[in-house]
Amino acid sequence: MWIVILPILASALRLATPLIFSALGGTFSERSGVVNIALEGIMVMGAFFSILFADLTGNPWIGVLAAIAAGMLTALLLGVVSIHLQGNQVVMGTAINILAIGLTSYLLQIIYKRFGQTDAISNALTGNPEILSFLENIPVVGKLFFAGLTPFVYLAFFAVGLSYYVLFKTPFGLRVRAVGEHPKAADTVGINVYKIRYICVLISGALAGIAGASLTVGYTAIFREHMVSGKGFIALAAMVFGKWHPVGALFACLFFGLADALSIQGSMLGIKIPTEFMHMLPYVATILALIGVVGKATAPAADGEPYEKGEN
Amino acid sequence: MRSDIKRVAVQLWLTLRFPLVSIVAGLLVGAILILIAGKSPIIAYTALFQGSFGGVDKIGETLFKMTPILLTGLSFSIAFRTGLFNIGGEGQFLAGAITAIITGWFFQDLPHLILILIMLISAIIAGGAWASIAGILKAKMGIHEVITTIMLNYTALYLVNYIVRAVMNPQILMGTKAEAHTVSLPDVARLTKLKDVFEIFGRSSVHTGIFIAIGCALFMYFILFKTTVGYELRAGGLSPDAAEYGGIKKSKNIIMAMGISGGLAGLAGAVNVMGITYYVAQSSTTPGYGFDGIAVGLVGGLHPIGNIASSFLFGILSNGARRMQLEGIPKEVIAIIQGVIIVFIASQYIIKIVYKKKKEKEIKREKLRAEQGNEGEVQ
């Protein structure tokens, strides 16, 4: 039995990892009041640029840094239009999603001179990290479970803890939440609403960028067109399902990751639910969460509303 | 008389300047990317326009590309005008498409015109119903429609995949081998291709769906601007609270707008299936026509007639993309051009808003000055 279950759990963790990073990104952005449906597009950018730079430099970690930079730059576009110019955040998010897919496919053809996918990189971070290699020596669990985890899995859990600490235990986090709930009040007590929102959108871009890298450098070792296909939106769902809270988002992502793993390998456990319904689960569960069937999820009060400075 | 012409021209310029600037910006960015690819933008754009205009058959193909996105553009526009952001066009499109397959297959013994009508209407109802889930949740519980419609897109995608595999598959209905798509619509359930009637359309795929789409645009114009219902919808979009004060029910408005919007997207799905693909295939991604509709709607100024123009433009772009690809230019340049156009459109709304706010501030300041002046006099 464990021979089947442990690898499925490891697979669930691997599948949940990109969702965790991206959902944390969404949480930062929306906690400060900026709706980020561009998570999908930012993940596409992160996925492509991490492979490109890992390929160029031969170092996968430089690929990850490139993904962070690409993610932050893309998020900056969203930030400028939706914070300074008070544009429609959803329109801008849609534009970024279209642009990201177009731009990466274009660069794929220009740089790699081929369609569909890049070459595989040889030094992807897909295995158990070396410093933790002792974990593989643990009987049963070692080979079946820990050997299947990537560095990104550990980083994701670390990012959840850090995000929780920053958002709920630091003065900065308090400011972020104030800006997202009541920007005018925050402005009145001297908090720079624009600055907080810019920082949060950039953090969101960095995290969604890492999410993209975890899909490529940390999983497939190549960039394929359409490989993100909706994962950014599942992350958005996880953020809502997790009630805009880092730990909630973590559990939502683990739940969605497990559903995904079971849809791939569930037949081994004798699960007869059609895979389509397993894929549907995150989205339906999120709608139910919004309705209040599984604990009511409520967005930050000023989420999605542009704020104009100096208005009293 | 002369001043009349001038007035109309000025009005036209004021309406068109934002979309035009955006399109030019998009084409400029596109030109840069073509240069980077080591090709000539002039050759590329000539290919693009020749591919879309060089002959009746080419124009026919452009009209074909324009058909579904005109409908999804209208779908987005009508919701946006009512103050709703329907990003669920993808799911509603799929709901309409699969419904057309189901009704088309099971009622295929009916006469052609009646069958077509039943298919179209059932698809409108299906798309409308799918969107109404988001509409009702918004109206009754205040749940934001952006999140629900995104969730409904993917729910629809996998539900349709399931129907394709386990319900409408040729294996199940005809006993042949399993396919990754549904049964094909019989001839009686298909829209007529114009080339079958007029030889001049050559090998283009334009079908009678284009008349349905343009008819819908005119009908929506009529509804929005010439009826009480349309007035109420628009009033709800401009200021929901004021509209409510004026006796317009906010929740009824929201549900109705989402229903109409979803119906149009569902119709787009049906027209696409009945006009060209004839079956629905399993897919890992949503079809994209719903997202294109957002671009079409925004560039078309959210106006039904503007949507005809903007969908024609996007038809030109996507039709010409193939021709550009033959010239060795990545067809993704077109997607980037579209994206840039939306970015600029989004930014132009801002210019409008900022301009309006500035004016409001000036008025406020003047009022303040007047009040202070009065106080001074009292002292």
Q: What is the mean pLDDT of residues B361-377?
A: 69
Say how far apart CA B179 and CA B189 lie, in whole Å. Answer: 20
Element of type H or E holding B124: helix B112-141
Supply the pLDDT for residue A295.
61
Supply the pLDDT for residue B149.
93
Say how far apart CA B20 and CA B13 lie, in whole Å. Answer: 9
Structural domains in chain A (count): 1
Residue of B93 and A229 predicted with greater confidence: B93
Q: What is the mean pLDDT of residues B319-326?
A: 84
Q: Would you call A105 an interface residue with chain B, using a CB distance cutoff of 8 Å? A: yes
Asked if residue B193 lies in contact with residue B206, where contact means CB atoms within 8 angstroms, the answer is yes
Contacts of A85 in chain B (CB under 8 A): 347, 350, 354
Q: What percent of chain A has pLDDT over 90?
A: 48
CA distance B148 to chain A (A): 6
Interchain pair B284, A291: CB under 8 A: no
Q: Which of A163-177, B168-182, B199-213, B228-242 has the lowest mean pLDDT?
A: B228-242
Rounded to 5°, the CA angle B109-B215-B62 comes to 95
Residue of B251 and B248 predicted with greater confidence: B251
Q: What percent of chain A has pLDDT over 70?
A: 96
Q: What is the mean pLDDT of residues A211-234?
A: 90
Residue A185's domain comprises: 21-228
Name residue B207's beta-bridge partners.
B193
Model confidence pLDDT, tens digit, residues B22-54: 889 999 999 999 999 888 899 888 888 888 888
Q: How many CB atoms lie within 10 A of CB B358?
A: 10
Q: What percent of chain B has pLDDT over 70?
A: 95
A218 part of a folded domain:
yes
**Residue A115: closest CA among chain B residues belongs to which residue?**
B330
A65 part of a folded domain:
yes
B44 part of a folded domain:
yes
CA distances, A39 to each of A75, A97, A200, A259 (Å): 9, 8, 13, 21
B155 part of a folded domain:
yes
Supply the pLDDT for residue B64.
93
Rounded to 10 deg, the angle between the B2-36 and B332-378 helix axes is: 130
ipTM of the complex: 0.84
Q: What is the mean pLDDT of residues B303-325?
A: 89
Q: Would you call B355 an interface residue with chain A, using a CB distance cutoff of 8 Å? A: no
Does pLDDT of B374 surpass 90? no
Q: What percent of chain B has pLDDT over 90?
A: 46
B163 part of a folded domain:
yes
Q: Which of A170-184, A212-226, A258-272, B141-155 has the lowest mean pLDDT?
A: A258-272
Does pLDDT of B361 surpass 90? no
Say how far apart CA B155 and CA B134 lie, in whole Å. Answer: 13
Give me the CATH number covering residue B319.
1.10.3470
Model confidence pLDDT, tens digit, residues B214-236: 999 999 999 989 988 888 888 87
Does pLDDT of A129 surpass 80? no
Does pLDDT of B293 surpass 80? yes
Residue of A205 and A260 predicted with greater confidence: A205
Supply the pLDDT for residue A281.
87
B4 part of a folded domain:
no
Supply the pLDDT for residue A294.
61
- Ranked by mean pLDDT, the top range of A70-74, A231-235, B23-27, B182-186 is A70-74
Interchain pair A85, B354: CB under 8 A: yes
Structural domains in chain B (count): 1
Say how far apart CA A49 and CA A111 lie, in whole Å. Answer: 12
Interchain pair B161, A101: CB under 8 A: no
Rounded to 10 deg, the angle between the A246-265 and A231-241 helix axes is: 130
Supply the pLDDT for residue B355.
67
Give which of A226, A218, A235, A201 is closest to A73, Cα–Cα.
Answer: A201
Supply the pLDDT for residue A312.
42
Q: What 3 state SS string does chain A have?
A: CHHHHHHHHHHHHHHHHHHHHHHHHHHHHHHCCCCCCCHHHHHHHHHHHHHHHHHHHCCHHHHHHHHHHHHHHHHHHHHHHHHHCCCCHHHHHHHHHHHHHHHHHHHHHHHHCCCCECCCCCCCCCCCCHHHHHHHHCCCHHHHCHHHCCHHHHHHHHHHHHHHHHHHHCHHHHHHHHHHHCHHHHHHCCCCHHHHHHHHHHHHHHHHHHHHHHHHHHHHCCCECCCCCCHHHHHHHHHHHCCCCHHHHHHHHHHHHHHHHHHHHHHHHCCCCCHHHHHHHHHHHHHHHHHCCCCCCCCCCCCCCCCCCCCC
Query: Which pLDDT band holds residue B365 (cuts at 50, 70, 90)?
Result: confident
Report how many Cβ contacts below 8 Å link chain A to chain B: 144
Say how far apart CA A124 and CA B28 lie, in whole Å. Answer: 38
**Residue A91: closest CA among chain B residues belongs to which residue?**
B346
Asked if residue A228 lies in contact with residue A44, where contact means CB atoms within 8 angstroms, the answer is yes
Supply the pLDDT for residue B378.
46
Residue B65's domain comprises: 40-327
Model confidence pLDDT, tens digit, residues A181-196: 999 999 889 899 999 9
Q: Which of A60-64, B165-169, B200-204, B369-373 has the lowest mean pLDDT?
A: B369-373
Query: Which pLDDT band holds residue A249 (cuts at 50, 70, 90)?
Result: very high
**CB contact set of A263 (below 8 Å; sequence gap of 6+):** A275, A278, A279
Residue of B373 and A160 predicted with greater confidence: A160
CA distance B223 to chain A (A): 25
A85 part of a folded domain:
yes
Supply the pLDDT for residue B366.
77
Interchain pair B343, A277: CB under 8 A: no
B204 part of a folded domain:
yes
Q: What is the mean pLDDT of residues A2-31?
A: 90
Nearest CB neighbour to A109, from listed B291, B330, B340: B330
Residue of B53 and A249 predicted with greater confidence: A249
Does pLDDT of A128 surpass 80? no
Interchain pair B353, A110: CB under 8 A: no
Say how far apart CA B119 and CA B271 lie, in whole Å. Answer: 9
Say how far apart CA B126 and CA B114 lie, in whole Å. Answer: 18
Query: Which pLDDT band holds residue B354 (cuts at 50, 70, 90)?
Result: low
Does pLDDT of B322 surpass 60? yes
Q: Would you call B346 an interface residue with chain A, using a CB distance cutoff of 8 Å? A: yes
Q: Which of A69-78, A111-120, A251-260 has the lowest mean pLDDT?
A: A111-120
For residue B187, the 8-state DSSP code is G
A81 part of a folded domain:
yes
